[in-house]
Amino acid sequence: MRNGPTTPYLPFTPALAQALAGARPAERWLAPLLACRDEDAPTLYAAADSVRAAHMGSDVHLRGLIEFSNYCRRNCAYCGLRRRNRGVERYRLDLAAIVATAQAAEQLGYRSVVLQSGEDLWYTPARLEKILRGIKATTDLAITLSAGERDRETYRRWRDAGADRYLLRIESTDPALFAALHPDDDLEERKACLYTLRDLGYQLGTGVMVGLPGQTPEMLARDVLWMYDLGAEMIGVGPFIPHPDTPLKASTGGTVDQTLRLVAVLRLVFPDVHLPATTAMGSLDPHGRERALQAGANVMMPNVSPTEYRAKYEIYPGKICLSDDAAHCRGCITGRIHHLGRTVGTDHGHVKRVRDNS
């Protein structure tokens, strides 16, 4: 991400923090903060940390991540799971395996799981419905789905079957950048999916990558405003990490520092949303997730997938925790949270409702 020629220097002040939280912020405030100087960044992070403490408390909510299939019909230019990447050994977990993995996560103390996959149409509306009902019938887990773009009827069916939340990152709201990254996708269709999910009463998660080729602070500022207008309730952001088997293999990628600025700005603009300290942050920097937790984040998504499949879900290279099992990850994450003087959330970690359509 480069500093656009129109990005002026803007010092961060407590008054600005107040202004950001009060109403829909001005783009001209956001872009300079997203590109602020290293010497100003600690002030920005500290302000976001105190807004997090005031609105969300000390709890870090854990969501156990189940990567249930790495088949994907799409060809997103950045992603190692893209269909044209023939080097991926593909796998799918069946109903019994997914339900058993969720049950094991609950045994480890999780109150919530995320079911994530490539866009894999083998999971028909009926198959995934059965999986959701299987988990809901045998556990008390809150369920987040992250399975890409589907039609309204499918989303409705899965919502009725018990899916509480849905994660679908917009990736970028810049039309040219979105088009360049998604040869087989359409920005307006992706937006329409998010509006549908919102209408159906899902707790709504979206987000973007940081450091995409050609991305500017102004573009990221417009992404923040679009997510504000959407009414996003969970916002996952992470650095773009170039994958060697993709068209973007020669790109520079994003950094932890750029991403931390976005995490902090998001916390100031959205005091009540759930903001994960993403695995991509931990993959670039051993303390990346802790740094995010101290710059506004309040959620972590430890991997609970069976160890044998983890390396095959290679969205980007260098992903952490590939040889660990779910019990190990749970202990490791709890230790990291306590080390920061924070607590592990013991409830389902539902969003604080700012909308009233459910």
Size of interface with ligand SAH, in residues (CB under 6 A): 18
Q: Please, which of residues 189-218 interact with ligand SAH by CB under 6 A?
A: 209
315 contacts ligand SAH (rule: CB under 6 A): yes
Alpha-carbon gap, residue 10 to 142, rounded angstroms: 41
Question: How far is it between the farthest Cα atoms of the chain?
Answer: 56
Report the residue from 106, 129, 171, 218 that binds ligand SAH according to the rule CB under 6 A: 171
Report the residue from 106, 119, 218, 223 that binds ligand SF4 according to the rule CB under 6 A: 119
Alpha-carbon gap, residue 178 to 207, rounded angstroms: 13
Alpha-carbon gap, residue 289 to 279, rounded angstroms: 7
305 contacts ligand SAH (rule: CB under 6 A): no
Candidates 288, 305, 308; CA nearest to 297 is 288
Candidates 301, 173, 169; CA nearest to 237 is 169
Sole window of 212-220, 235-243, 265-273, 296-304 interacting with ligand SAH (rule: CB under 6 A): 235-243
79 contacts ligand SF4 (rule: CB under 6 A): yes
Q: Shortest gap between Cβ of 22 and ligand SAH (angstroms)?
A: 30
Alpha-carbon gap, residue 347 to 296, rounded angstroms: 20
The torsion region of residue 338 among left (phi > 0), alpha (psi -120 to 50) and beta comes to alpha
Sole window of 36-44, 70-78, 217-225, 350-358 interacting with ligand SF4 (rule: CB under 6 A): 70-78
Report the residue from 16, 30, 66, 72 that binds ligand SF4 according to the rule CB under 6 A: 72
116 binds, among ligand SF4, ligand SAH, none (CB under 5 to 8 A by kind): ligand SAH
Which tokens in the block code for residue 174? Answer: 């810049």
Sole window of 21-29, 79-87, 173-181, 255-263 interacting with ligand SF4 (rule: CB under 6 A): 79-87
